[in-house]
Structure 1
Amino acid sequence: MPDTDHPPHGTEPGSSSSRPAGKITRLRLIAAIAAVAVIALIAVLLTVSFNPGSNSNQAAGNAEGTAEETPTQPAPTGKAPAVTYYKQTPPPAGSPLEKVDPLELTVKNEPVGTTLDKGTVGISLEATDLADPTLSADNATMVKLLKDSDDTVLRFGGNAVDRRFFWTSSGEALPAGYKGDKAHPARVVTPADLERVATLLNATNAKISLTVDLGHYDPDRAADMIKNASRIFGKRLLSFTVGNEPNGFAYTKLRPATYGSDEYIVELKAYANAIHAAAPDVVISGPGVYDQKWWKPFIDAELPQKKVLSFHNYPLYSCKDTKSEGFPTVPNLLGEGTRQRAAKYQQHALDAAKAAGLETWLAETGMSACPGSNQTTKTHATALWAADYALNAARLGITRLGFHSSMATCKGGPPMSVICSGGAYLKPNGEMAARANYFGMAMVADLAPGKFLNVDKKGGGMGNSYALKNADGSTTVVIVNENDPEKAAQTEVSLKLPGRALRGTMTQLSGPRLNAQDSTVIDGDKNAPVPAAKRPTVPGFSYGSDTQKFKLTAGTVTVLNFSY
């Protein structure tokens, strides 16, 4: 366009024209003002168009729970790329489908203040399992299970540690007083066993936490064990705990009936000081109990390297009262009452630990404290529960939790264990397999690290949802659909995201019925989720939209990832 402060063609500045001089001056002034206004307007438009993030990225300095500013994202103008859509398992043929209220989710750009990290979910084993040759890099099935559970933590403790576990680094025989039975034998553990376990940790990038024997009082023996463990495991050794559930020692006759937290603290200090002298860099976690009253004495005790408050919790606690909400049934397991009760207990531990500047671990957990089989064991419902339980604990702030397990046989072995061995009863062959609850754990273990975000939820029947903001800016949404796939129709989902998604992928855990045993699969197979880069697209994905609508089959754990 012509310069607006120039006269018309044929008229030079300062020359005479047919217009009177006063009018020309006024016209030039008006034209100049108009030019400045247009230039200013263009500058504003250019700033908006080319600097959409000029007021964004303030999240790093925000307080916990406050909204992060989101860059203005223009709608994409290109054509959506060709994709392959995820084919989820449909409801069983002929199912008496019951309608489920639509699920409305809104992911807010509001950090909860907690994070999910690799290694949050792990496996808890008996201390005597350290002597099991199956725990070796030479065992391909064990290596696969640990790799599929992604940078996991193996915790060794359980009832065995204070009853039938004997450590020696000098070749001593098992003392006569250590008793076991055919299903739970007493065992000697040596440095050679730790070196074998270290090969497994190195092969799978796993870490380890140990418990030392307090049942047979011997601080020097415990110090020798942790000294050797520190040398062998190095930085893979996260912590040690003194005794397993010492709050129950009076009941199990490992101590006199008068034994309480005061006596425990005296013994704990002797152990902690002896171990610190032998292995000064190793962290102590504790007290590893199921009684809340024992937390404060541990917190208040003067102990070297005290950095972790650890506790145990089994939400279904009632083994005889069939009418109790704590009795192990599928409705109780997936019930909101059980979820809230567990969350409340965990929050008490978190509050106590935070006030003392300690990290919080749920070192030993499982669905039920009752031994043997019940309505919940080995069922698909346990997979849904494990995923939701782990995610809710992590969202609250629990940084590590271990699902208690066994190396015993699948046939006749503890039915709540996440893993088990092939072979006849009491004759394990070392071919390790996963149970349903393992797959629920694996779905969480596979998630990329991220910050939990607030999610508004409405409808959807039974289930819970979670969201994470990942380091690459993408959003992960996990939907745990606890409706019974044998009865419930697919749920219509409307998901509002904090940005316009250019890509959306999906992986899913599923099963035919809540009470189906050993039938849980991930992406149609008994394996870990499909690698993130190879995952298909969310069915019905709307390219460039911040609202996604799709259907989900009941009885599933669905992980969605959206990039912008």
Structure 2
Amino acid sequence: MRRIAVIAAIAVVALVAVLLTVSLNANKAGTAQAPVQDTPVKPAPTGKAPAVTYYKQIPPPSGSPLENVDPLELTVKNEPVGTTLNKGTVGISLEATDLADPALSATNASMVKLLKDSEDTVLRFGGNAVDRRFFWTSTGEALPASYTGDKTRPAKVVTPDDFQRVAALLEATNAKISLTVDLGHYSPDRAADMIKYASKIFGPRLLSFTVGNEPNGFAYTKLRPADYGIEKYVTELKAYADAIYAAAPNVVISGPGVYDQKWWKPFMDADLPQKKVLSFHNYPLYSCTDTTSDGFPTIPNLLGQAIHQRAASYQQHALDAAKSAGMETWLAETGMSACPGSNQTTKTHATALWAADYSLNAARLGITRLGFHSSMATCKGGPPMSVICSGGAYLEPNGEMVPRANYFGMAMVADLAPGKFLNLDSKGGGSSNTYALQNADGSTTVVIVNKNDPAKAAQTEVSLTLPGYALRGTMTQLSGPRLDAQDSTVIDGAKAGPVPAAKRATVPGFSYGSQTQKFKLTAGTVTVLNFSY
């Protein structure tokens, strides 16, 4: 009996050990357990809070009663989404003919400042001009008679000397460049010559080249016959890629640079010798005539959740397609609206809020580069959606480059420290979107895009729960007087980039050593908060 009891006891111990092992393994593999934290939460501090200077927001307007906004409740989780924000994510897209503009120079202080304020940016050159009015030559050829433009959009010759001038600008501002070659005038050899010089002159600052701009529209715009489609494009693409690879084998090809997703897979499947990146174009406000559509360019549509979600859905399709092919995804050309000319949204403070929100949402999804399409033309009469424009009389630019409202939204994102996007819970806040990042130094950045109208809405009460006990909390803020105000957007009260991180004031009402922070935010703002523990 004693022997049987001993054996039974041993069996029980073994069974317990097996069950414990199974339980531990199940916890490791299960989906219901709490997420593993990347960094342990430090204990709450016991010392005295240091003296600080609080950030002074521009207050709401006085006078008429203001509309109350539901309080915003935020909880930042120590759960990485799986995507990151890097320097150089947001950039500026320009017409290829702008390469010939002398204002793109390291000696142009206004241009240098704009690129420095947008931090490690990428200048992408393409647009409709590249296949119509852009002529590359390295041998001093004159502009062919077949290259025609008009008074507002003249044809231009671009040479290696222009590349040298732009290269000096990139060097002075730590910027990079992406080029588009002319597919409208079929010439693989000329394109190869252009990228050969670009590779030598720009070196590692040259990120990629694209063959043609929006070739999916070539039949419609009569750059190709009516039967031109994907099959003929891929044949031409292959000829260009082979010629360019022979001349500059280390340059990446990005494409197809279209607004029709049916063209994505044929580009990705094409047998090209270069490393490939999927790039596409998107303008969320797409309806130019139907005033009842939520895609018609109005401020409520621009800042509405319907457009926010539609843009995110389209971008996710591109990301899924690229992921299946093991490729990076770039949104090479974008802007508020596909409709030409001025509309209710252009040049307004609303575009600054949209640009910041659109950039952050794209980056959170996994888009690694995006370019806001712009122009070097004059502010007077020039493209009203451009993030930058030149001083001077109409059609007489003086090269003094100035930012528009949407530039400041872009600059707020460009200034952010690189980090991993974190999950967060968000409730209330009226019309607002929120983002959180875990930075390399262990701090947490929270961005609140408050899209409520500052002319009508009261300040939003915010309750923010952090993943740690905050010892320091700083703030920088983009603001404006009304959603429809033009040329009135400022950052920290000035028409410049954000105040340097080390000099930023403290979040109003900051609670030293607490995981919960409570404060109020003025409507119509993009607020960047950083908390260290």
Matches of 1:143 and 1:472, distance apart in 2: 29
What per-residue deviation string (whole Å, max 9, x for no partner) do you get for residues 485-504 of structure 1?
00000000000000000000
The equivalent of 1:290 in structure 2 is 259
Q: Within 5 A, what are the aligned runs for 1:252-271?
A: 252-271=221-240
Partner residue of 2:215?
246
Change over 3 Å in CA distance of 1:409–1:545 after alignment to 2: same
CA contact (8 A) 1:210 1:240 kept: yes
Determine if contact 1:67/1:111 at 8 Å carries over to the other structure: no
425, 428, 442: which one aligns with 2:394: 425
Alignment of 1:357-372 (within 5 A): 357-372=326-341
Indicate the residue corresponding to 1:460 in structure 2.
Answer: 429
**Does the Cα contact within 8 Å between 2:268 and 2:276 map onto a contact in 1?**
no
Distance 2:161 2:97 in 1: 14
1:333 and 2:302 equivalent?
Answer: yes
Partner residue, 1:442: 411
1:184 and 2:123 equivalent? no
Distance 1:428 1:70 in 2: 53
Distance 2:56 2:311 in 1: 34
Aligned-partner Cα distance in 1 for 2:484–2:141: 48
* Pairwise CA distance, 1:76: 1.1
Paired residue total: 502
Question: Relative to 1, partners in 2 of residues 1:175 and 1:305: Cα closer, same or farther, differing over 3 Å?
Answer: same
1:343 matched to 2:309? The reply is: no
Gaps of 5+ in 1: 1-57
Q: Distance in 1 between matches of 2:142 and 2:88?
A: 36
- 4+ runs deviating over 4 angstroms: none
Q: Deviations over 1:151-185 (max 9, x none)?
A: 00000000000000000000000000001001000
Give SS of 1:216's match.
Answer: coil
Q: Deviations over 1:106-158 (max 9, x none)?
A: 00000000000000000000000000000000000000000000000000000
Query: Paired residue for 2:93?
Result: 124
- Decide which of 55, 63, 79 is 2:48's aligned counterpart: 79
SS in 1 for 2:219: coil
User: Which protein has the larger Cα radius of gyration, Structure 1 or Structure 2?
Assistant: 1
1:274 aligns with 2:243: yes
Cα deviation, residue 69, structure 1: 4.8
Residue identity matched to 2:190: R
- What's 1:136 paired with? 105
Give the distance between the partners of 1:419 and 1:74, measured in 2 at CA. Answer: 47
Residue 324 of structure 1: aligned partner: 293
Q: Which residue does 2:118 correspond to in 1?
A: 149
Corresponding residue for 1:167? 136
Q: Aligned residues: percent identity?
A: 85
Residue 525 of structure 1 corresponds to 494
- Aligned residue for 2:17? none
* Residue 99 of structure 2 corresponds to residue 108 of structure 1: no
**Partner residue, 1:18:** none
Rounded Cα–Cα distance in structure 2 between residues aligned with 1:556 and 1:443: 11
What whole-Å deviation, never above 9, does each CA across 1:346-379 have from its counterpart, x for those lacking one? 0000000000000000000000001110000000
Equivalent position amino acid for 1:93 in 2 = S
Runs of 5+ consecutive residues of structure 2 not aligned to the other structure: 1-27
The one-letter amino acid of 1:104's match is E
**Equivalent in the alignment of 1:196:** 165
Query: Does the 8 Å CA contact 1:95/1:486 hold for their aligned counterparts?
Result: no
CA contact (8 A) 1:96 1:486 kept: no
Report the Cα offset of residue 68 of structure 1: 1.9
Shift of 1:78: 1.1
Distance 1:536 1:356 in 2: 45
Aligned-partner SS, 1:232: helix
Deviation (angstroms), 1:67 = 4.1
Matched AA of 1:557: V
Residue 227, structure 1, aligned to residue 196, structure 2: yes
Assess if the C-alpha contact under 8 Å between 1:333 and 1:385 holds in 2.
yes
- Tell me the amino acid that sits aligned with residue 239 of structure 2: A
* Structure 2 counterpart of 1:449, one-letter code: P
What TM-score comes out, normalization by structure 1 length?
A: 0.88
Which residue identity lines up with residue 233 of structure 2 in the other structure?
Y
Q: What is residue 205 of structure 1 aligned with on the other side?
A: 174
The secondary structure found in structure 2 opposite 1:333 is helix
State the superposition RMSD in angstroms.
1.1
In 2, the alpha carbon distance for the partners of 1:420 and 1:78 equals 51
- What letter corresponds to residue 266 of structure 2 in structure 1? P
**Residues in 1 aligned to 2:433 and 2:268: alpha-carbon distance in whole angstroms:** 33
For residue 236 of structure 1, what is the aligned residue in structure 2? 205
Q: CA deviation at 1:307?
A: 2.4
Amino acid at match of 1:406: S
Contact 1:130 1:156 in 2 (8 A): yes
CA deviations on 1:471-493 (whole Å, 9 max, x unpaired) are 00000000000000000000000
Please give the alpha-carbon distance, in whole angstroms, between the structure 2 residues aligned to 1:332 and 1:451.
Answer: 30
Within 2, Cα distance between the matches of 1:66 and 1:484? 37
Give the secondary-structure state (helix, strand or coil) at the position aligned to 1:276: helix
